[in-house]
Chain A
Amino acid sequence: MSCEQYMIRQISLFSENKPGRLAAMAKACQEENVNILAFSIAEAEGFGVIRALVDKPDVAFKKLTSMGFNVAFTHVIAVEMKDEPGGLFEIASKLSEAGINIEYSYAFSGKNKAILILRVDQVEEAIRLLHSHKFTLIASESIQ
């Protein structure tokens, strides 16, 4: 199994913690016809990081960089999660048993299923592990 196909490129933006920054980023995506599939904001003192999964990461990267944003790609994995009690535990416990650390994570719950997005310290190991336990990983080409 190739792990590559399950590595999804997330775009991350450095942003000052002030009104209008998310709107500026979202407007740029709209103008470029880039769809945001999932996103989260992490905040620290005075600044934050906006992380997003988008359907056209290269287009988004180019546009946001040209606007002066500090943008980076990070590899994350997206795994289907049962939308019922215990769904998150199932995944988190497997990673924990294998000693894989989750650096950050966010999730969304769709019509039929929930998706968990994970940034872990050992990406390939996590993909192999989840795959071996029959979890469904989202291939990057199916969304990007």
Chain B
Amino acid sequence: MRCWDPRIEEMPVADLRKLQFKLLKTLVYRVYSFSSFYHKRMKEAGVHPDDINSLEDIIRLPFMHKKDLRDTYPDGLIMSEQEELVRYHVSSGTTGKPTVVGYTKNDIYNWTESLARALTSAGIGRGDVMQVSYGYGLFTGGLGLHYGAERIGATVLPTSVGNTERQIELMQDLRVTAIACTPSYLLHMGEVAEKMGVSIKNDTLLRKAIVGAEPWSEQMRLRIKESLGVDAYDIYGTSELSGPLFCECEYQQGFHVWSDLIYPEILDPDSQKPLPPGERGELVVTMLQKDGLPIIRYRTGDITAIREEPCPCGRTHPRLERLSGRVDDMLIIRGINVFPSQIEHALLGIPEVAEHFMIEVDRKGALDEMLIKVELAKEAFSDKISDLMRTQRHVEKVLKSSLNVQVSVELTEPGTLPRFEGKAKRVIDKRLI
């Protein structure tokens, strides 16, 4: 099947925008009338629902932050009566107080519908056996994918996380064709399978993986393809927005964001001004049809760019590019926003250096200086100083053209830069600002 819901997925852009405006208008009236939180915020910002007369007017509405969800724990932001709610999900709270999201029947329906379209766009459908190896429970990944896969008629194998050997046995025995899990778990499964004498590539029918919930790269996509014979599709969503919502279509160039469900904005994290399509900035989300816990101009903290050019798949909805880090990691060097993830991405394309790096920022006089330390790859070592200096200058040039800012590069010995498990701390900022 090409599209799950062709009427919506192939709707002309102008009609989609009309629909978005209608939904936005309704949403703003509803929250102004029924949510004490939004009512108060809008009053403070001096904006009334009558002031919203076009989609562009959305910038008059106040932002909403993660902090707002924490500060109103457990249910201060939930607009529906409890008897209207059919489910709660709760975030782990690893970076602070947990956040609670309540779902009405309609919320679960739309969330599932979003994933049904997404999974179909990745070429999964009736006849597939889908192993859901995301956690089931308070985390949104497992149940979200479970509902989405069931709706499109796939056969779901709800393995959740853990007991990898058994997961691999079941994958073989029940002829699993698709899996949803984190990219690192998928690679881990490959290693465990190998130890069991099973080749995922040759001994299973697994061909597609819907992977996300942690940062990953194009290099990982290639590794998954080469070592496991599996096409990996990026998936995006966070619990505040419902859970996983969007994944890449068969063309694997960003994930379609369904315009009838979400209105995305890309803002300069610094000035908070909207950025044109193609430019990277912070993703700010308005959920157009979420009842239980309305989300208006939510600052996701995720860095991405929006692509509006038509996708070869024929879907008219815009795409978001692969996330490239978090706003919290952003550095401002000589007035230019720099994300460590951009450096990581650029380094992956330079075989002469390894992927590990450290950034040192200092200020000489009035100017910021950025020094990037990278490890020289074993194969790139030359006995000749001139070759090494050429490598150094080459790395500087590549980084300069991808960051738009002057950088100095220092080559270090292999294995000498710190390795990080979990959140990396790659920046040493010596500036006294």
Contacts and interface: CB of A to CB of B under 8 A. Distances in A.
B384 A14 contact: no
Nearest to B411: A47
B383 A74 contact: yes
B382 interface: yes
Interface string B82-114: 000000000000000000000000000000000
A94 B17 CA distance: 80
A46 B411 contact: yes
Contact of B385 (A16, A49, A68): A49
A29 B424 CA distance: 36
A10 B384 CA distance: 13
A44 B385 contact: yes
Contacts of A72: 381-383
B274 to A, nearest CB: 41
Interface in B393-416: 410-416
Contacts of A69: 413
Interface in A91-127: 103-104, 119
A105 B416 CA distance: 30
If over half of A's interface residues share one DSSP class (helix, strand or loop), that class is named, otherwise mixed; here it is strand
Contacts of A71: 381
Given A14-B388, A70-B378, A119 B413 contact: no
A68 B383 contact: no
Nearest to B386: A103
Contacts of B389: 44-45
Interface string B369-396: 0000000101001111100110010000
Contacts of B378: 70
B383 A16 contact: no
Given A46-B411, A49-B388, A70-B376, A14 B381 contact: yes
A104 B178 CA distance: 58
Given A44-B389, A70-B376, A70-B378, A12 B413 contact: no
Contact of B413 (A10, A16, A45, A104): A16
Nearest to B409: A46
B381 A68 contact: no
B410 A47 contact: yes
A103 B376 CA distance: 22
B65 to A, nearest CB: 42
Interface string A54-76: 00000000000000111110100
A40 B288 CA distance: 69
Interface string B356-375: 00000000000000000000
B410 A68 contact: no
Contact of B376 (A10, A14, A104): A14
B413 A68 contact: yes
Contacts of A26: none
A68 B384 contact: no
Contacts of B383: 10, 12, 49, 51, 72, 74, 119
A42 to B, nearest CB: 5
B253 to A, nearest CB: 37
A70 B414 contact: yes
A71 B376 CA distance: 12
A14 B414 CA distance: 9
B410 A15 contact: no
A104 B414 CA distance: 25
Interface in A1-23: 10, 12, 14-16
10 contacts: A10-B383, A14-B376, A16-B412, A44-B392, A45-B389, A46-B411, A47-B376, A47-B410, A47-B412, A51-B383
Interface of A: 10, 12, 14-16, 42, 44-47, 49, 51, 68-72, 74, 103-104, 119
Which 4 pairs of residues, A with B, have the shortest CB-CB distance? A12-B383, A70-B381, A74-B383, A46-B410
